[in-house]
Protein backbone atom coordinates (compact mmCIF):
# COMPACT_ATOMS: atom_id res chain seq x y z
CA UNK A 1 0.00 0.00 0.00
CA UNK A 2 1.23 3.50 -0.84
CA UNK A 3 -0.09 6.71 0.69
CA UNK A 4 -1.00 9.53 -1.68
CA UNK A 5 0.64 12.94 -1.86
CA UNK A 6 -0.18 15.16 1.13
CA UNK A 7 -1.69 18.04 -0.85
CA UNK A 8 -4.34 15.76 -2.37
CA UNK A 9 -5.97 15.45 1.06
CA UNK A 10 -7.18 19.04 0.82
CA UNK A 11 -9.39 18.42 -2.22
CA UNK A 12 -9.62 14.78 -3.42
CA UNK A 13 -11.68 13.66 -0.36
CA UNK A 14 -14.06 16.54 -1.15
CA UNK A 15 -14.36 15.62 -4.82
CA UNK A 16 -14.73 11.89 -4.21
CA UNK A 17 -18.27 11.95 -2.72
CA UNK A 18 -19.30 14.09 -5.71
CA UNK A 19 -18.19 11.56 -8.32
CA UNK A 20 -21.74 10.20 -8.41
CA UNK A 21 -22.76 13.45 -10.11
CA UNK A 22 -20.25 12.86 -12.90
CA UNK A 23 -17.37 15.29 -12.37
CA UNK A 24 -16.32 16.56 -15.80
CA UNK A 25 -13.36 18.74 -14.83
CA UNK A 26 -11.79 20.55 -11.90
CA UNK A 27 -9.31 23.38 -11.45
CA UNK A 28 -7.37 23.43 -8.20
CA UNK A 29 -4.91 25.86 -6.66
CA UNK A 30 -3.18 24.60 -3.53
CA UNK A 31 -1.64 26.87 -0.91
CA UNK A 32 0.85 24.59 0.81
CA UNK A 33 2.40 24.98 4.24
CA UNK A 34 6.16 25.05 4.71
CA UNK A 35 6.13 21.88 6.81
CA UNK A 36 5.29 20.10 3.56
CA UNK A 37 8.83 20.90 2.50
CA UNK A 38 10.19 19.81 5.88
CA UNK A 39 10.83 23.44 6.79
CA UNK A 40 10.14 25.89 9.60
CA UNK A 41 10.19 29.67 9.47
CA UNK A 42 13.71 29.51 10.90
CA UNK A 43 15.00 27.17 8.21
CA UNK A 44 13.06 28.82 5.35
CA UNK A 45 13.50 32.57 5.90
CA UNK A 46 12.71 33.31 2.25
CA UNK A 47 9.04 32.44 2.84
CA UNK A 48 8.47 35.18 5.45
CA UNK A 49 6.25 37.91 3.93
CA UNK A 50 6.31 35.97 0.68
CA UNK A 51 4.56 33.46 -1.57
CA UNK A 52 6.58 31.16 -3.83
CA UNK A 53 4.53 30.28 -6.94
CA UNK A 54 6.23 26.97 -7.69
CA UNK A 55 6.73 23.64 -5.92
CA UNK A 56 8.75 21.18 -7.96
CA UNK A 57 6.72 18.20 -9.20
CA UNK A 58 3.60 19.09 -7.22
CA UNK A 59 1.40 20.19 -10.08
CA UNK A 60 1.98 17.01 -12.07
CA UNK A 61 1.20 14.90 -9.00
CA UNK A 62 -1.88 16.99 -8.23
CA UNK A 63 -3.26 16.32 -11.70
CA UNK A 64 -2.25 12.68 -12.15
CA UNK A 65 -2.45 11.01 -8.71
CA UNK A 66 -6.23 11.46 -8.32
CA UNK A 67 -6.71 9.41 -11.49
CA UNK A 68 -4.66 6.64 -9.92
CA UNK A 69 -6.79 6.81 -6.76
CA UNK A 70 -9.98 6.63 -8.83
CA UNK A 71 -8.57 3.86 -11.02
CA UNK A 72 -8.71 0.08 -10.63
CA UNK A 73 -6.33 -2.85 -10.35
CA UNK A 74 -5.99 -5.05 -13.40
CA UNK A 75 -3.44 -7.85 -13.64
CA UNK A 76 -1.62 -6.59 -10.56
CA UNK A 77 -1.25 -3.09 -12.03
CA UNK A 78 -3.13 0.11 -11.28
CA UNK A 79 -5.02 1.35 -14.32
CA UNK A 80 -5.72 5.06 -14.00
CA UNK A 81 -9.23 6.41 -14.37
CA UNK A 82 -9.78 8.28 -17.63
CA UNK A 83 -11.24 11.31 -15.91
CA UNK A 84 -12.08 13.79 -14.65
CA UNK A 85 -9.61 16.26 -16.12
CA UNK A 86 -7.79 18.21 -13.39
CA UNK A 87 -5.61 21.27 -13.85
CA UNK A 88 -3.65 22.69 -10.94
CA UNK A 89 -1.26 25.29 -9.60
CA UNK A 90 0.69 24.78 -6.37
CA UNK A 91 2.03 27.62 -4.24
CA UNK A 92 4.17 27.62 -1.10
CA UNK A 93 2.74 30.02 1.47
CA UNK A 94 3.92 31.35 4.87
CA UNK A 95 1.87 28.93 6.97
CA UNK A 96 3.43 26.43 9.37
CA UNK A 97 0.92 23.57 8.91
CA UNK A 98 -2.19 23.01 6.84
CA UNK A 99 -2.67 22.83 3.08
CA UNK A 100 -5.53 24.88 1.64
CA UNK A 101 -7.10 24.32 -1.78
CA UNK A 102 -9.28 26.59 -3.91
CA UNK A 103 -11.37 24.24 -6.04
CA UNK A 104 -13.53 24.86 -9.10
CA UNK A 105 -15.58 21.95 -10.44
CA UNK A 106 -18.06 21.19 -13.24
CA UNK A 107 -20.35 18.19 -13.56
CA UNK A 108 -22.02 16.13 -16.25
CA UNK A 109 -25.22 16.50 -14.21
CA UNK A 110 -25.08 19.61 -12.04
CA UNK A 111 -26.21 18.89 -8.46
CA UNK A 112 -27.85 21.42 -6.19
CA UNK A 113 -25.85 23.00 -3.41
CA UNK A 114 -27.92 21.02 -0.93
CA UNK A 115 -27.04 17.76 -2.70
CA UNK A 116 -23.34 18.55 -2.44
CA UNK A 117 -23.60 19.43 1.24
CA UNK A 118 -25.55 16.23 1.89
CA UNK A 119 -22.97 14.15 0.02
CA UNK A 120 -20.22 15.62 2.19
CA UNK A 121 -22.15 15.25 5.45
CA UNK A 122 -23.11 11.64 4.75
CA UNK A 123 -19.76 10.48 3.39
CA UNK A 124 -17.85 7.91 5.41
CA UNK A 125 -15.49 5.12 4.51
CA UNK A 126 -14.03 1.93 5.88
CA UNK A 127 -12.07 3.75 8.64
CA UNK A 128 -15.35 5.06 10.07
CA UNK A 129 -17.20 1.76 9.63
CA UNK A 130 -14.39 -0.10 11.39
CA UNK A 131 -14.03 2.63 14.05
CA UNK A 132 -10.27 2.68 13.58
CA UNK A 133 -8.37 4.47 16.38
CA UNK A 134 -6.97 7.24 14.16
CA UNK A 135 -10.10 7.76 12.07
CA UNK A 136 -12.14 10.96 12.45
CA UNK A 137 -15.72 10.31 13.47
CA UNK A 138 -16.92 12.82 10.87
CA UNK A 139 -14.57 12.76 7.88
CA UNK A 140 -15.70 16.02 6.22
CA UNK A 141 -16.54 19.12 8.25
CA UNK A 142 -18.30 21.96 6.44
CA UNK A 143 -18.10 25.52 7.78
CA UNK A 144 -20.93 27.95 7.03
CA UNK A 145 -18.89 31.05 7.92
CA UNK A 146 -17.54 33.05 4.97
CA UNK A 147 -14.05 33.19 6.47
CA UNK A 148 -13.60 29.48 7.17
CA UNK A 149 -11.92 27.07 7.02
CA UNK A 150 -8.67 28.69 8.15
CA UNK A 151 -5.41 26.82 8.56
CA UNK A 152 -4.67 28.33 11.98
CA UNK A 153 -8.16 27.71 13.37
CA UNK A 154 -9.27 24.50 11.70
CA UNK A 155 -6.29 22.30 10.79
CA UNK A 156 -6.59 20.37 14.08
CA UNK A 157 -10.24 19.41 13.54
CA UNK A 158 -10.66 15.87 14.91
CA UNK A 159 -6.99 15.76 15.92
CA UNK A 160 -5.93 16.90 12.48
CA UNK A 161 -7.46 13.88 10.73
CA UNK A 162 -10.61 15.45 9.28
CA UNK A 163 -10.91 17.35 6.01
CA UNK A 164 -12.55 20.77 6.18
CA UNK A 165 -14.58 22.58 3.53
CA UNK A 166 -16.28 25.92 3.17
CA UNK A 167 -17.44 28.71 0.86
CA UNK A 168 -19.38 26.42 -1.47
CA UNK A 169 -21.13 28.54 -4.10
CA UNK A 170 -21.98 28.62 -7.78
CA UNK A 171 -19.43 29.96 -10.26
CA UNK A 172 -19.74 31.82 -13.58
CA UNK A 173 -17.30 29.55 -15.47
CA UNK A 174 -17.54 26.27 -13.54
CA UNK A 175 -20.61 24.86 -11.82
CA UNK A 176 -19.32 25.38 -8.26
CA UNK A 177 -16.31 26.55 -6.28
CA UNK A 178 -15.26 25.87 -2.70
CA UNK A 179 -12.33 25.87 -0.27
CA UNK A 180 -10.74 22.76 1.22
CA UNK A 181 -8.27 22.34 4.08
CA UNK A 182 -6.35 19.45 5.59
CA UNK A 183 -3.47 19.10 8.03
CA UNK A 184 -0.59 18.10 5.77
CA UNK A 185 1.64 16.44 8.37
CA UNK A 186 -1.20 14.63 10.17
CA UNK A 187 -3.97 13.66 7.73
CA UNK A 188 -1.62 14.14 4.80
CA UNK A 189 1.46 12.35 6.11
CA UNK A 190 2.19 10.61 9.43
CA UNK A 191 -1.39 10.31 10.68
CA UNK A 192 -2.60 9.14 7.29
CA UNK A 193 0.12 6.50 7.19
CA UNK A 194 -0.88 5.26 10.66
CA UNK A 195 -4.54 5.15 9.58
CA UNK A 196 -3.59 3.16 6.49
CA UNK A 197 -1.67 0.68 8.66
CA UNK A 198 -4.68 0.37 10.98
CA UNK A 199 -6.91 -0.35 7.99
CA UNK A 200 -4.56 -3.02 6.64
CA UNK A 201 -4.37 -4.62 10.08
CA UNK A 202 -8.16 -4.60 10.46
CA UNK A 203 -8.49 -6.30 7.08
CA UNK A 204 -6.03 -9.02 8.08
CA UNK A 205 -3.10 -8.14 5.83
CA UNK A 206 -0.64 -8.61 8.69
CA UNK A 207 -1.99 -11.99 9.82
Residue 179 in 3-state DSSP?
strand
With vertex at residue 202, the alpha carbon angle to CA 66 and CA 124, rounded to the nearest 5 degrees, is 50
C-alpha torsion sign, points 70, 170, 180, 42: positive
Between CA 138 and CA 14 the distance in angstroms is 13
The 10 Å Cβ neighbour count of residue 151 is 21
Identified catalytic residue from 16, 90, 99, 164: 99
Rounded to whole angstroms, the Cα distance separating 114 from 106 reads 16
Nearest CA among 23, 59, 7, 40 for reference residue 192: 7
Q: What's CA 10's distance to the chain center, in Å?
A: 2
Is 164 marked active-site? no
Q: Which residues contact 3 (CB under 8 A, 6 or more apart)?
A: 189, 192, 193, 196
6 is catalytic: yes
| Options 6, 16, 164, 183, the catalytic residue | 6
Give the separation between CA 140 and CA 42, rounded to whole angstroms.
33
Active site residues: 6, 99
Amino acid sequence: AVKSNCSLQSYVPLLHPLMKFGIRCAAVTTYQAISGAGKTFETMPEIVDNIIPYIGGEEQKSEEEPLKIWGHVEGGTIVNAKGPVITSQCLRVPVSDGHTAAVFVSFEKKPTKEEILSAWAEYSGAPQALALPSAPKQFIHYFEEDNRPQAKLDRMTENGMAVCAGRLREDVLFDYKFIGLSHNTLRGAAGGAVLLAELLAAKGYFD
